[in-house]
Amino acid sequence: MMLFLRSLIFSIGMILATIILATPCFLTILLPHHWRYHYLHLWHRFVLWWLEVTCNVHYEVEGLENINGLEAAIVFSRHESTWETLALTNILPIQTWLIKRELLWVPFFGWAIWVLEPIAINRKAGRKALNQVITQGKQRLSKGRWIITFPEGTRLKPVETKPFGIGGAMLAAKTGVPVVPVTHNAGEFWPKRGFIKHPGTVKVIIGPVIQTEGRKASEINQQAENWMNAARSNLLEQ
C-alpha cells in the first residue's frame, strides 16, 4: 500500500509538472536551441528529483571517464523504462534523440520533444527512414549535439534482449563518429508500463568508446550489442 501511495504522489507531481512546463514550450521555439534545451531540461531534473523524494529511487553512474574529452558521439542506450529518457539529459552533453514519430503526437510530452528538433522517423518507411537518420544525424552532429539512440527499438523487460536496428550504426559508419554504449537496470525500479516505482539505486554503466572510422555498420552493431548484453547480464547477477 505504501509503494502504491508513493507512486501515486509521484505520478500526480509528474503530470502537473509536465503540463505546467510543456504547455508554454512552443514559445521557446523563438529562442536558440541551447536555451530551449535547458528550459525543458528543468522538467527532467524536477521529475528525477521528485522520484527520489517520493519513491526513494536514486542513481549512480559508472564509466564517465570513458567520455572525457569526447566532443561528439552516437549513444546506444539500453531501453527499459521512461527513466533513462529523463536521466540521460543529466548524465550526457546536449543531445538529440532518434525517436519514432508517433511520440510527437503525445500531448504535452510530444510538444516538448518537438521543439528540441529530434530525428523523428516513420519506422515503416524503410530506406527513406534510414536516409533521414543519416541526413538529419549529420546535421545535428555538425552542431555539436550528441545523438541518443535506443537500438533495440522499444522498451524491454530487464531479462529481455532484442536484435539491434541498423539506423544508429549506419549513421556512425557514414560519419566516423564514435559510439558510446550505455546500459542500466532502470526497468527494475520503474518497470515498462509499470505504475509502481520500487525504491533503490539505478546503476548506469557507460562503456568503452567504440571507434567507427572505416568500419561496417554490422560490425559496429555487433561490438555494441556484445558489450551491452554482457554488461546487462552482470547487472542482473548483482
Looking at the predicted structure, is the pLDDT value of residue 25 above 80?
A: no
Phi, psi of 180 (to 5 degrees): -115, 110
Give CA–CA dist 18/23, Å, rounded. Answer: 8
* % of the chain beyond a pLDDT of 70: 100
Looking at the predicted structure, is the pLDDT value of residue 109 above 80?
A: no
Looking at the predicted structure, is the pLDDT value of residue 26 above 80?
A: no
Mean residue pLDDT across the chain:
92
Top-confidence residue, 30 or 90:
90
Residues 81-108: what's their mean pLDDT? 90
User: For the chain, what are the domain ranges?
Assistant: 57-237
Looking at the predicted structure, is the pLDDT value of residue 214 above 90?
A: yes
CATH architecture of 57-237: 3-Layer(aba) Sandwich (3.40)
Looking at the predicted structure, is the pLDDT value of residue 140 above 90?
A: yes
Residues 193-197: what's their mean pLDDT? 92
Residues 43-61: what's their mean pLDDT? 96
Residues 43-52: what's their mean pLDDT? 95
Residue 39 is inside which H or E element, if any?
Answer: helix 33-55
Looking at the predicted structure, is the pLDDT value of residue 125 above 90?
A: no
Residues 192-198: what's their mean pLDDT? 92
Residue 176 is placed in which grid cell?
566516423
Q: What pLDDT score was predicted for residue 83?
A: 96
Q: What pLDDT score was predicted for residue 128?
A: 92
Give CA–CA dist 154/131, Å, rounded. Answer: 21
Q: What pLDDT score was predicted for residue 106?
A: 82
